[in-house]
């Protein structure tokens, strides 16, 4: 997974020798013919997204073949009565398992499967992933909010907690980005009421600062005041969709949370001003939002912010062999752990923040939730 997640970052950075070596490794050694249950969502965003993006950047047909093989093996994940996918899929047998799902896992698939359809000419991938996104949206409450968990077989909500954090986050992201990448008007029509409700119900002001917390999807009643490393993607999405003022305000809160200890915690209660989950698994979201804001406003303060983030990141997380997650940001104790998204996302967004804008043309490409750029038309058959 790590070479596939890292390849397009190497290409964008101009690490040509490393990229070539990695491409050969993937093309000659990677096989999906494995009797293995994998997490459908993670494999779609990291592997399918990584292969498609690297194919579009290099034109290497072997990468597209691998993507097509992977996509075909995973299609039975959608074979549920609702069209909401199983959580896991066996790559050899196509047997789906796990029904405790959520909007992020069902709604963060269309950029990748849709691109696979565009590149292969086979519409089935787009259709299945779109249905899962629409089925999630259809289950929204009267307030236009979704919950945190549902059962993929019955389609019934099992948690009605509603927010922009884990299990929901990239559902919002793909409503907007699928409109951008595919000009799919249905996605825009789902995005518009969804983001309006999110901004209306989750937002909370504390001493003049804007935060985003938890409510119940049915009543809109506040249930929590936690913001964290995952939520920090939202200012970038707001900026990308044109709401710069709100994006700036929320980004200021993300940065304040980071500066509490010089690395952000996973979760922070902004009312009690208390950390509620102290780990830092090298997450990219705050860097992602800093980059979108810099790219879209040109305001040098976001480059300065990015520099602080980068220097803190290197100081606390770098090790001899790689970068280490932090067990507790109040002690900065390191863990022996480095997720593949560090290569795909964290370093890519840091790099893009300081690279010339032509390194990535935001009018031509849309980044998936794992920061793999997918081109609007390039190589389309
Ligand atoms: C990544 O795999 C993706 O950004 C996903 O949307 C959320 N979690 C990680 C990064 O934190």
Q: Kindly name the residue from 37, 60, 135, 169 that is annotated as catalytic.
A: 169
Who lines ligand 1 at CB under 6 A?
45, 170, 283-285, 341, 345, 369-370
Q: How far does the centroid of ligand 1 lie from the alpha carbon of residue 318, in Å?
A: 20
Cα–Cα distance list, 133 to 88, 146, 184 (Å): 17, 12, 12
Residue 379 has pLDDT above 60, yes or no: no
Residues 6+ apart with CB under 8 A from 236: 247, 285, 288, 289, 290, 291, 292, 293
- Is residue 148 annotated as a catalytic residue, yes or no? no
Cα–Cα distance list, 378 to 118, 119, 120, 268 (Å): 10, 9, 13, 42
Task: Give the C-alpha separation, 371 to 285, whole Å.
Answer: 10
At residue 56, the pLDDT reads 98
Check residue 381 and report its DSSP letter. -
Residue 308 has pLDDT above 70, yes or no: yes
pLDDT digits (tens, 9 = 90+) for 144-194: 999 999 999 999 999 999 999 999 999 999 999 999 999 999 999 999 999
- Is residue 42 annotated as a catalytic residue, yes or no? yes
Residue 278 has pLDDT above 50, yes or no: yes
Percent of the chain with pLDDT over 70: 99
- Is residue 68 annotated as a catalytic residue, yes or no? no
Residues 6+ apart with CB under 8 A from 58: 11, 19, 23
| Residues present in the chain in total | 381
Atom of ligand 1 nearest to the CA of 281: 11
Residue nearest to atom 3 of ligand 1 (CA): 370
Task: Give the C-alpha separation, 191 to 77, whole Å.
Answer: 25
**Short-list 236, 135, 118, 261, CA closest to 186:** 135
Number of H-type helices and E-type strands within the chain:
16, 18
Q: Chain centroid to CA 362: how far?
A: 17
At residue 377, the pLDDT reads 72
At residue 378, the pLDDT reads 43
Instruction: Report pTM.
Output: 0.98
Residue 371 has pLDDT above 60, yes or no: yes
Cα–Cα distance list, 216 to 146, 202, 281 (Å): 9, 10, 28
């Amino acid at each position: 997974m790590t070479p596939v997640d890292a390849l397009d970052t190497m290409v964008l950075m101009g690490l040509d020798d490393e990229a070539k070596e990695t491409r050969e490794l993937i093309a000659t050694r990677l096989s999906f013919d494995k009797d293995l249950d994998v997490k459908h969502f993670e494999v779609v965003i990291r592997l399918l997204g990584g292969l498609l993006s690297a194919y579009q950047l290099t034109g290497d047909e072997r990468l597209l073949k691998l993507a097509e093989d992977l996509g075909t093996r995973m299609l039975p994940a959608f074979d549920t009565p609702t069209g909401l996918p199983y959580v896991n899929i066996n790559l050899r047998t196509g047997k789906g398992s796990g029904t405790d799902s959520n909007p992020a896992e069902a709604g963060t698939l269309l950029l990748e499967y849709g691109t696979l359809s565009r590149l292969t000419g086979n519409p089935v991938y787009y259709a299945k992933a779109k249905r899962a996104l629409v089925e999630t949206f259809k289950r929204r409450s009267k307030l236009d909010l979704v919950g945190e968990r549902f059962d993929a077989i019955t389609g019934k909500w099992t948690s009605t907690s509603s927010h922009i954090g884990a299990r929901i986050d990239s559902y919002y992201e793909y409503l907007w980005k699928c409109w951008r990448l595919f000009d799919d008007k249905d996605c825009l029509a789902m995005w518009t009421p969804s983001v309006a409700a999110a901004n209306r119900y989750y937002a909370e002001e504390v001493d003049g600062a804007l935060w985003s917390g938890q409510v119940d999807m049915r009543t809109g009643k506040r249930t929590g005041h936690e913001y964290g490393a995952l939520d920090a993607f939202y200012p970038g999405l707001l900026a990308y969709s044109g709401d710069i003022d709100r994006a700036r305000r929320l980004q200021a809160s993300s940065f304040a949370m980071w500066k509490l200890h010089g690395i952000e915690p996973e979760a922070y209660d902004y009312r009690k001003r208390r950390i509620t989950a102290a780990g830092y698994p090298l997450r990219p979201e705050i860097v992602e939002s800093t980059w979108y804001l810099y790219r879209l406003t040109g305001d040098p303060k976001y480059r300065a912010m990015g520099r602080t983030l980068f220097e803190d990141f290197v100081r606390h997380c770098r090790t001899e062999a790689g970068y280490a997650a932090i067990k507790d940001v109040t002690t900065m104790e390191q863990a022996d752990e480095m997720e593949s998204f560090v290569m795909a996302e964290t370093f890519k967004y840091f790099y893009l923040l300081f690279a010339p804008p032509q390194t990535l043309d935001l009018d031509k490409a849309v980044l998936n939730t794992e920061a793999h750029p997918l081109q609007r038309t390039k190589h389309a058959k």
